[in-house]
């Protein structure tokens, strides 16, 4: 531009000179001021909170910008919140309904969000929350990303191999109070030479400790045939035949509870001492029901905000490597590509499996250093994590022991546990009483 103006003056001077006109011009160029840069309005989310967050309730955030005049209070209605668990997006929430307060300080609009577990209707576990806006001036900026852990405060009583003197342990499977999952508990009873009948008797009595009711019908007769137990059901089964959920719970409770007894590997049923093509809602007595051998992911369930119990979820065959699938399930409470409602992932998100090696029946799992800081100051939850790992991986056929390493090194103490040695599956899961 300056060069063009200068050339213009030169041409004028030449023309005037050519005409013989007197020349008395100031050749200094006019002082011209040009802003050669175009200022761009910038926006970003800002928060003083540190990730990861543990059991958050109210958090503050603001929009940082060099153009505060562009901001307005009506932006509140434009916010959305994506709720992620691992790589899976569970839902998108209208975040404007989570905003409890909006304030204006020094030209900045500060928003207060309620991210409590109850407000988001989330179960315990680790989540990634992504906050963003659909407003035109904000839609292209990066979301505010929050790593959140909702940690349960109920007590976990670890599994054990210890048997009180003169007692025996019964593993009993009951439907939970919401009738969603089958939960194993261990009940210590006085030693008897009739563990099968004692198991049925204790299934009938339910569990007052946890509010579990009997999952099986009355008037049951039993016989033992080598490694098989014969179960004689009454003629009239009522809801056990007409309600699929009730029937399935009864069948599984019988099979899982009875095959947990040493020497019993399978169960066969009869109805009114005869074969039947329809019992427990469409099952047939012609089938033999063996002890379950499919791999299982053990997840936590908070029972009435008092106790956390581990329960198994069967894994379906998958093209994905079994170790990888099981770690994913333990970290995300996701099994068979399905998020398990209201269950707790025992392994925190920050923990990662570096590698694993199987040598005969021993599986060695090598975790990153974040394994050491899991559930800090909660020894019981650290034990829950280890129990879940051991029960899950020893449910894989051919694996009887698990050894845990951290960054390639043995772990001599975590929550009072010596993990420097291979661990076998404990005998008694979820003791009903301490």
What would the pLDDT profile of 298-317 be if each residue is shown by its tens digit? 999 999 878 999 999 999 99
Query: How confident is the model at residue 5, as a pLDDT?
Result: 52
Q: What percent of the chain has pLDDT over 90?
A: 62
Give the lowest-confidence range in 106-115, 224-233, 390-399: 106-115
Strand 79-85 relative to strand 88-94: parallel, antiparallel, unpaired? antiparallel
Query: How confident is the model at residue 23, as a pLDDT?
Result: 46
Distance of alpha carbon 14 from alpha carbon 7, whole angstroms: 11
Is it the case that residue 27 has pLDDT exceeding 50? no
Query: How confident is the model at residue 300, as a pLDDT?
Result: 95
> Please, are residues 175 and 183 in contact by the beta-carbon 8 Å criterion?
yes
Domain segments of the chain as ranges: 43-150, 156-290, 312-424
pLDDT digit string, tens, across residues 245-282: 999 999 999 999 999 999 999 999 999 999 999 999 99
Query: How confident is the model at residue 4, as a pLDDT?
Result: 53
Residues 6+ away with beta carbon under 8 Å from 151: 54, 55, 124, 375, 378, 381
Which of the listed ranges 3-7, 71-75, 139-143, 179-183 does the model predict with the highest average pLDDT? 179-183
pLDDT digit string, tens, across residues 373-396: 898 878 999 999 999 999 999 999
Is it the case that residue 1 has pLDDT exceeding 60? no
Is it the case that residue 33 has pLDDT exceeding 50? no
pLDDT digit string, tens, across residues 319-358: 899 999 999 999 989 899 888 878 889 998 889 999 999 9
Query: How confident is the model at residue 31, as a pLDDT?
Result: 45
Query: How confident is the model at residue 37, as a pLDDT?
Result: 47
Instruction: Give the residue from 227, 223, 216, 232 showing the smallest Cα distance to 285.
Output: 232
Strand 401-406 relative to strand 409-410: parallel, antiparallel, unpaired? antiparallel
Is it the case that residue 41 has pLDDT exceeding 80? no
Q: What percent of the chain has pLDDT over 70?
A: 90
Task: Give the mean model confidence (pLDDT) for residues 223-243.
Answer: 97
> Please, are residues 429 and 186 in contact by the beta-carbon 8 Å criterion?
yes
Query: How confident is the model at residue 36, as a pLDDT?
Result: 43
Asked if omega into 52 is within 30° of 0 (cis), the reply is yes
Task: Give the mean model confidence (pLDDT) for residues 216-235.
Answer: 97
pLDDT digit string, tens, across residues 112-156: 888 988 788 887 788 999 999 998 888 888 999 999 988 766 899
The model's confidence at residue 20, banded by pLDDT at 50, 70 and 90, is low
Query: How confident is the model at residue 337, as a pLDDT?
Result: 87
The model's confidence at residue 38, banded by pLDDT at 50, 70 and 90, is low
The model's confidence at residue 8, banded by pLDDT at 50, 70 and 90, is low
Query: How confident is the model at residue 13, as a pLDDT?
Result: 53
Distance of alpha carbon 236 from alpha carbon 250, whole angstroms: 14
Is it the case that residue 53 has pLDDT exceeding 60? yes
Mean pLDDT value across the chain: 88
Is it the case that residue 230 has pLDDT exceeding 90? yes
The model's confidence at residue 51, banded by pLDDT at 50, 70 and 90, is confident
Q: Which residues pair with residue 148 across a beta bridge?
A: 53, 127
Let me know if domain 43-150 sits in CATH 3.30.300. Answer: no
Query: How confident is the model at residue 93, as a pLDDT?
Result: 93
């Amino acid at each position: 531009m300056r060069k063009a103006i200068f050339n213009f003056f030169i041409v004028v001077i030449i023309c005037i000179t050519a005409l013989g006109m007197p020349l008395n011009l100031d050749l200094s160029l006019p002082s011209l001021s040009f802003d050669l840069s175009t200022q761009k309005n910038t926006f970003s989310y800002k928060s003083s909170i540190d990730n990861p967050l543990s059991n958050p309730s109210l958090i503050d955030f603001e929009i940082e910008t060099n153009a505060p005049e562009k901001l307005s209070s009506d932006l509140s209605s434009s916010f959305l919140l994506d709720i992620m668990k691992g790589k899976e997006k569970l839902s998108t929430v209208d975040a404007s309904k989570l905003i409890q307060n909006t304030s204006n300080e020094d030209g900045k609009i500060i928003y207060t969000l309620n991210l409590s577990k109850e407000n988001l209707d989330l179960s315990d576990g680790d989540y990634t929350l992504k906050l963003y806006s659909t407003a035109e001036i904000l839609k292209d900026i990066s979301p505010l990303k929050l790593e959140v852990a909702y940690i349960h405060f109920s007590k976990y009583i670890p599994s054990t191999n210890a048997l009180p003197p003169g007692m025996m342990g019964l593993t009993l499977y009951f439907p939970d109070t919401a009738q969603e999952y089958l939960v194993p508990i261990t009940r210590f009873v006085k030693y008897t030479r009739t563990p099968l009948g004692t198991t049925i008797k204790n299934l009938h009595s339910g569990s007052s400790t946890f509010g579990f009711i009997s999952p099986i019908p009355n008037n049951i007769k039993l016989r033992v045939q080598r490694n098989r137990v014969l179960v004689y059901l009454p003629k009239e089964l009522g809801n056990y035949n007409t309600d699929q959920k009730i029937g399935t719970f009864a069948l599984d409770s019988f099979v899982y509870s009875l095959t947990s007894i040493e020497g019993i590997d399978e169960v066969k049923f009869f109805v009114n001492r005869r074969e039947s093509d329809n019992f427990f809602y469409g099952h047939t007595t012609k089938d033999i029901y063996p002890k379950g051998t499919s791999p299982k992911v053990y997840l936590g369930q908070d029972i009435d905000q008092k106790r956390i119990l581990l329960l198994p979820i069967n894994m379906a065959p998958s093209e994905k490597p079994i170790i990888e699938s099981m770690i994913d399930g333990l970290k995300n409470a996701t099994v068979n590509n399905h998020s398990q409602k209201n269950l707790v992932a025992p392994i925190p998100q920050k923990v990662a499996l570096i590698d694993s090696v199987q040598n005969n029946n021993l599986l060695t799992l090598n975790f990153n250093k974040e394994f050491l800081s899991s559930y800090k100051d909660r020894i019981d939850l650290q034990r829950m994590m280890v129990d879940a790992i051991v029960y899950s991986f020893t449910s894989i056929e051919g694996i009887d022991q698990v050894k845990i390493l951290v960054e390639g090194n043995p772990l001599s103490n975590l929550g009072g546990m010596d993990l420097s040695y291979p661990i076998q599956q404990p005998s008694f899961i979820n003791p009903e009483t301490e």
